[in-house]
Amino acid sequence: MTKLANRVISVYDRKTSMRLAVPEWIAVDDICKRERIKRKKLLELIESNKDPKLGFTSSVRLFTITYMHHLLENYTPKVKSSKKEYENIFSAFKLMS
């Protein structure tokens, strides 16, 4: 079983703690590298686009899995395919709603 990692984060200059599994933190960091944004900015984007009925941690998990799923779904292998390349980070926000 994977361990949960608690981290203190800052979202819109408000400090809070969030607990995710280590692979979830790695996925968040991978998204940041791919999109060339800082983790703080990604978390602020998630906060501002989340469903008000969901908590912040749940929204981060939902965004991460939605982003990765959309990325995989639209992955274009080296062989020609009819599927298009992944557009950008905002496509995942649209899919969350």
The token pair at 38 is 């800082």
Question: Tell me, what's the pLDDT at 73?
Answer: 78
pLDDT at 49: 93
> Residues 12-47: pLDDT tens digits?
989 999 999 999 999 999 999 999 999 999 999 999
Task: Spell out the SS3 assignment of 9-25.
Answer: EEECCEEEEEEEEHHHH
- Tell me the pLDDT band of 48, cut-offs 50, 70 and 90: very high
More confident site: 73 or 27? 27
Tokens 């899995």, residue located: 65
pLDDT of residue 89: 65
What's the whole-model pTM score?
0.74
Whether the predicted pLDDT of 97 surpasses 60: no
Domains in the chain (CATH in brackets) are 4-96 (1.10.3990.20)
